[in-house]
């Protein structure tokens, strides 16, 4: 029997809608509490350097009010580490960040910054935060994450999700193969494997079916679907799609 697959709901884009008008509505904390009720196993929020969606006060409120784990997504900067050390979330997921990008485009280059990242994560680990590194499904990156002592990697599913969305089936198969191989390789090194970025009801199945994958983090599609089904309905439908695919 494969371990239960956890669903982390990313609520960034509730804040995107709020910020489009200023003011307080819709409230990302309310969305997070509703996601918790709907069966989310964790909440992910990305505090970007430019604060385009989640803000410092959102992160503090999430930490205070949630009873499920909070995954604090952030760039590896001194400012973010100070904030994470003050917030002490369950997990910190390090991602690369470019100011001009629309979303997190690539994975962290762990192989090239191994020494710096090892030093960077040490105080976070000492503070009890579980460290996850967001990497492309690439052998060098997975191996480097293991080498610097991260317990978790999150494999970037963006190329897979884009191929699905654009109906490029041969590319989709190649990208799926990379995720399959790197989930197995990471697991063989003792890493806990998460996957995220761009997943939908259609594309989630083959990833949810991978026995070594322990958690999926899904945001934009779920928040969009909540316009039609409500957040509760969208999360329950995703949960059902994940469960149907799980061996």
Catalytic residues: 46, 73, 197
Q: Binding to ligand PXP by residue 31, rule CB under 6 A?
A: no
Q: Binding to ligand PXP by residue 30, rule CB under 6 A?
A: no
C-alpha–C-alpha distance, residues 222 and 44, integer Å: 13
H or E, element range at 168: none
Q: What is the dihedral of CA 64, 224, 74, 54, to 10 degrees?
A: -50
Structure tokens at 3: 């371990």
Among 5, 7, 9, 10, binds ligand PXP (CB under 6 A): 10
Q: Binding to ligand PXP by residue 90, rule CB under 6 A?
A: no
Tell me which long-range contacts 110-118 makes (C-beta under 8 A, separation of at least 24).
Answer: 110/135, 110/141, 110/144, 110/145, 110/148, 110/150, 111/140, 111/141, 111/143, 111/144, 113/76, 114/144, 114/147, 114/148, 116/76, 117/76, 117/148, 118/148, 118/149
Which residue stretch of 75-83, 142-150, 166-174, 194-202 sits at the interface with ligand PXP (rule: CB under 6 A)?
Answer: 194-202
- 143 within 8 A of 134, measured Cβ to Cβ: no
Which residue stretch of 16-24, 82-90, 191-199, 231-239 sits at the interface with ligand PXP (rule: CB under 6 A)?
Answer: 191-199
Among 29, 197, 214, 215, binds ligand PXP (CB under 6 A): 197
Minimum separation from the CB atom of position 223 to ligand PXP (A): 8
Q: From the CB of residue 85, how many other CB atoms can be counted at a distance below 10 Å? A: 14
Minimum separation from the CB atom of position 1 to ligand PXP (A): 26
Distances in Å between the Cα of 152 and the Cα atoms of 52, 115, 134, 141, 213 are 26, 17, 9, 12, 11
Backbone φ and ψ of 43, nearest 5°? -120, 130
Among 11, 66, 93, 131, binds ligand PXP (CB under 6 A): 93
Nearer to ligand PXP, 134 or 187 (CB): 134
Q: Binding to ligand PXP by residue 175, rule CB under 6 A?
A: no
Nearer to ligand PXP, 135 or 148 (CB): 135
Structure tokens at 17: 């809608």
Nearer to ligand PXP, 30 or 220 (CB): 220
Nearer to ligand PXP, 33 or 155 (CB): 155
Q: Binding to ligand PXP by residue 46, rule CB under 6 A?
A: yes
Which residue stretch of 61-69, 142-150, 213-221, 226-234 sits at the interface with ligand PXP (rule: CB under 6 A)?
Answer: 213-221
Q: Which residues bind ligand PXP (CB under 6 A)?
A: 10, 12, 46, 73, 93, 95, 103-104, 134, 154, 196-199, 217-221
């Amino acid at each position: 029997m494969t371990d239960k697959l956890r669903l982390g709901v990313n609520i960034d884009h509730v804040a995107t809608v709020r910020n489009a008008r200023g003011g307080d509505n819709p409230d990302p904390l309310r969305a997070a509490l509703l996601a918790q009720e709907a069966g989310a196993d964790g909440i992910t929020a990305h505090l970007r350097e430019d604060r385009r969606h989640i803000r410092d006060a959102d992160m503090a409120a999430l930490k205070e009010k949630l009873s499920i784990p909070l995954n604090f997504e952030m760039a590896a900067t001194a400012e973010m580490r100070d904030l994470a050390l003050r917030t002490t979330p369950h997990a910190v997921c390090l991602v690369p960040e470019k100011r001009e990008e629309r979303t997190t485009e690539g994975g962290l280059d762990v192989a090239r910054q191994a020494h710096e990242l090892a030093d960077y994560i040490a105080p976070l680990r000492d503070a009890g935060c579980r460290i996850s590194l967001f990497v492309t499904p690439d052998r060098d990156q997975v191996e480097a994450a293991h080498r610097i002592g991260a317990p978790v990697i999150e494999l970037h599913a963006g190329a897979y999700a884009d191929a699905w969305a654009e109906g490029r089936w041969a590319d989709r198969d190649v990208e799926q193969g990379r995720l399959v191989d790197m989930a197995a390789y990471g697991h063989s090194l003792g890493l806990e494997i998460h996957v995220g970025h761009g997943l939908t009801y259609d594309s989630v199945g083959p990833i949810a079916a991978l026995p070594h994958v322990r958690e999926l983090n899904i945001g934009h599609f779920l928040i969009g679907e909540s316009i039609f089904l409500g957040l509760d309905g969208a999360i329950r439908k995703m949960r059902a799609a994940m469960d149907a695919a799980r061996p």
